Structure 1
Amino acid sequence: MLNSKMLKQFNKAYEDDALKAAVYGASPVGLVVLLYEGAIKAINQAGYAIESQRYDEKARLVSKTIDIIDGLRESLDLQQGSEAAGNLSDLYIYMKQRLSIANLKNDLEILAEVRRLLETILPAWQELNRSSMSTSTASNAY
């Protein structure tokens, strides 16, 4: 699931050393959770930047969010032909398009729309991460 391009995008998205350590210590599903959380945080900060008329900062944060979503999309295994992977790929493309429009128009509503989409899907990834950690812990106990 992790390739060198994804790791570069993780590094770009997470410049903080402590967070970088968490990224490199996380499971593949845990990385997805971190990326979703990072995208949501960047969208929130982009909204604040628009409200403060700091458009250069807004552009940087929207670009960061697009990079994160691009990393999520690239991590999908579309070769397996999974319907879920195909649907997520389409959703990520849609989010990137919407973010580009939000960036051009300084549109807080579009930012909120993409944030809501991410927040809707995030709990499923968090639950999958908890389940995989529980299974891993249980199997390591023996």
Structure 2
Amino acid sequence: MAINNPYNQYKESSIKTATPQELTLMLYNGALKFMNQGKLYIEQKDIPKTNEALMRSQDIIQELNITLDMNYDISKNLRALYVYIIEKLVDSNIYKSTESLNEAIEMVTELRDTWKEAMKLAKMGK
């Protein structure tokens, strides 16, 4: 049962009123949050929590992947990146490797930062 507190209400409202661009940014941020949690749990040797965090980040990257509009050339490049990131997350989860996870974190951080910059440029162009 969800706790009906002001923060949860705000969060739910933010998601419902977000533009597709803002939702994509939220997904990138969520993936990074779970990847960083997974890294912490690997370091703490907490296998169940590592698995849960990395599976959640995989789910988010998979969601980004399946929602790509393949009518654009850039989508083909993004698909390849997302597949590679998922492979790194799977490796991290299987081998409890922060090396693979750091690579995935770096790539998603770069994608997120690029997305944020594109959003700024799009707003300036309006």
Alignment TM class, shorter chain as reference: 0.7 to 0.9
The letter for the 2-side match of 1:25 is T
Runs of 4+ in 1 over 4 A off after TM superposition: none
Cα deviation, residue 111, structure 1 = 0.7
Alignment TM-score, normalising by the size of structure 1: 0.77
Identity %: 25
Alignment partner of 1:25 is 2:40 = no
For each residue in 1:23-61, what CA deviation from the matched residue of structure 2 results, as whole angstroms up to 9, or x when unmatched? 222111111111111111111110111111111011000
- 8 Å CA contact 1:29–1:128 kept in 2: the answer is no
Q: Distance in 1 between matches of 2:94 and 2:64?
A: 23
The match for 2:96 among 100, 106, 111 is: 106
Structure 2: unaligned runs, 5 residues or longer? 1-6
The letter for the 1-side match of 2:26 is L
Q: Distance in 2 between matches of 1:50 and 1:124?
A: 28
Write the mapping of 1:105-124 to structure 2, written as runs, cut at 5 A: 105-124=95-114
The letter for the 1-side match of 2:48 is D
Q: Distance in 1 between matches of 2:18 and 2:124?
A: 14
**Matched residues, number:** 119
Structure 1: unaligned runs, 5 residues or longer? 1-15
Alignment partner of 1:59 is 2:51 = yes
Alignment partner of 1:129 is 2:119 = yes
Q: Distance in 2 between matches of 1:92 and 1:101?
A: 14
The match for 2:80 among 87, 90, 109 is: 90
Q: Distance in 2 between matches of 1:118 and 1:97?
A: 13
Alignment TM-score, normalising by the size of structure 2: 0.86
Q: Distance in 2 between matches of 1:57 and 1:133?
A: 39
Cα deviation, residue 134, structure 1 = 4.8
- Which moves more between the two structures, 64-73 or 16-25? 16-25
The match for 1:46 among 38, 42, 47 is: 38
RMSD in angstroms over aligned alpha carbons? 1.6
Cα deviation, residue 121, structure 1 = 1.5
Residue in 1 that maps onto 2:4 = none
